[in-house]
Amino acid sequence: MDLLAKLELLSRETAYEPTEEVAPTGRRVMELGRAQHLPGCIHHACTPRGHVTLLKGMVSNTCERNCLYCGVRAGRDFRRATFSPDELALTFDRLYHAGLAQGLFLSSGILGGALRTQDQIIAVGEILRQKYLFTGYLHLKIMPGADAEQIRRTMELADRVSINLEAPNGDRLAHLAPRKAFLEELVGPLRQVETIRQELGGRPGPWGNVRRSGPSLTTQFVVGPAGESDRELLRTTVYLMRTAGLARAYFSAFSPIPDTPLEDHPPESPERERRLYQASFLLRDYGFSVDDLAFDAQERLPLEADPKLAWARRHLAEAPLEINTASRRSLLRIPGIGPRLVERLLEARQKGRLRDLADLRKLGVPAEKAAPFVLLDGRRPARQLRLF
């Protein structure tokens, strides 16, 4: 199997790894005068370094673990392949110099134990940084059970690292991955990342870039098959943001994969995934707490309205906020207004009072979305009610 064919095969499994990507590029790769399409491999991505074209790849799609939901689980019958670190680094370097990929997200199945697999991931990063002098974006996965020195070296090489929790606690994880130890293999390394990040922050990386802080940290949850509630997922997310410096959580709505123990389990609604993302951003960027959010009897977020709008309908519909005097924290709770618009509003208030919806529109505020929940110069703004 040639290198590009192997890359295409291995990259199929990264569809189950939500990362920074926005959309696949669907571009063609030229090698030795031959065009080969790489569907799903290269993505337009928003990263801590800005927008890049990101290659999502794996060292191996062979795995000795038997996670019940996973497409690369041990015993599943499908075609397997493994890159050597030199092969994978060379393949990426060719794509990079062809202008097709600016950054790399790298994961792997566990083959020969977590320590050996982590060494393979580290080796790819070292070859790219030291042999090919690559200074671009690297997101490297940390395997469950990696040791402290491996975590440190991975962080020295990467712009972002991630450790997939899959579930919000050990009881839920047992329904998804019975061979994973929640505290020892997953939560422990997450905490180590924050300790090491504090030591690495501001120091030059081995490829010459000076970083203001260490690499960012993300995790992923599989949503649905373990029976977890949204409240559980969000409480764990907040805990990790506070104690482990988690930059963000990714939520992957469960979709059954043939020839796995959960192949007959119903898929989870993508709308639930969307609401979890919206809620997690409120917790991270808008000053909300988990207890501020509305949950149903099963402690799930309502699917019919985004969490911020649901909060505003309960708290602001009858007690609207005065735009001209509300605090920054209060302004962030108005539907349609985010951190950037809050700064524009605060700056505009220094120049004069905001008196009508036209004043908000000039600042880029989606006025109709905010109007039911605000006062402008002491009055509810006049607005056209919807017919339907």
Backbone angles phi, psi at 310, to 5 degrees: -60, -40
Secondary structure element (H or E) that encloses residue 374, with its range: strand 374-375
Cα gap 51→12, rounded to integer Å: 22
10 Å CB burial of residue 386 (0-12, 13-18, 19+) is exposed
Q: Where in the chain is the domain with CATH 3.20.20.70?
A: 3-268
- Least confidently predicted of 47-51, 151-155, 255-259: 47-51
Cα gap 246→215, rounded to integer Å: 11
Write down the mean pLDDT value for the chain.
89
Dihedral sign (CA 170, 171, 177, 178): positive
3-state secondary structure of 30: strand
Q: What is the pLDDT of residue 5?
A: 83
Q: Is pLDDT of 29 > 50?
A: no
Q: Where in the chain is the domain with CATH 1.10.150?
A: 316-375
Give the pLDDT band of residue 298 (cuts 50, 70, 90).
very high
- Least confidently predicted of 41-55, 238-252, 316-330, 350-364: 41-55
For 226, other C-beta atoms within 10 Å of its C-beta total 23
pLDDT in tens, 54-79: 999 999 999 999 999 999 999 898 89
Q: What is the DSSP letter of 132?
A: S
Return the C-alpha torsion angle 381, 386, 387, 388, nearest 10. Answer: -150
For residue 356, give both structure tokens: 């009508």
Which CATH number does 316-375 carry? 1.10.150
Q: What is the pLDDT of residue 210?
A: 42
Cα gap 378→168, rounded to integer Å: 45
Mean pLDDT across the stretch 99-127?
96
Q: Is pLDDT of 209 > 80?
A: no
Give the pLDDT band of residue 384 (cuts 50, 70, 90).
low
Q: What is the pLDDT of residue 124?
A: 98
Cα gap 81→66, rounded to integer Å: 17
Q: Is pLDDT of 244 > 50?
A: yes
Q: Is pLDDT of 387 > 60?
A: no
**Residues in a beta bridge with 262:** none
Whole-angstrom CA distances from 286 to 59, 108, 161, 165, 292 are 38, 35, 24, 24, 11
Tell me what percent of the chain is helix, strand and coil, each rounded to the nearest 5: 40, 15, 45
Single-letter code of the amino acid located at 230: D
Cα gap 356→320, rounded to integer Å: 15
Q: Is pLDDT of 212 > 70?
A: no
Q: What is the pLDDT of residue 207?
A: 43
Mean pLDDT across the stretch 159-177?
96
For 7, other C-beta atoms within 10 Å of its C-beta total 24
Q: Which residue from 61, 72, 70, 56 is spatially nearest to 19, judged by alpha carbons? A: 56
Model's pTM, two decimal places?
Answer: 0.89
Whole-angstrom CA distances from 342 to 310, 362, 375 are 20, 13, 15
Mean pLDDT across the stretch 325-343?
96
Which CATH number does 3-268 carry? 3.20.20.70
137-141 vs 160-162, strand pairing mode: parallel
- Least confidently predicted of 39-48, 178-187, 190-199: 39-48
Q: Is pLDDT of 102 > 70?
A: yes
Single-letter code of the amino acid located at 367: A
Cα gap 315→312, rounded to integer Å: 5
Single-letter code of the amino acid located at 280: S
Which is more confidently placed, 216 or 17? Answer: 216
Q: Is pLDDT of 388 > 50?
A: no
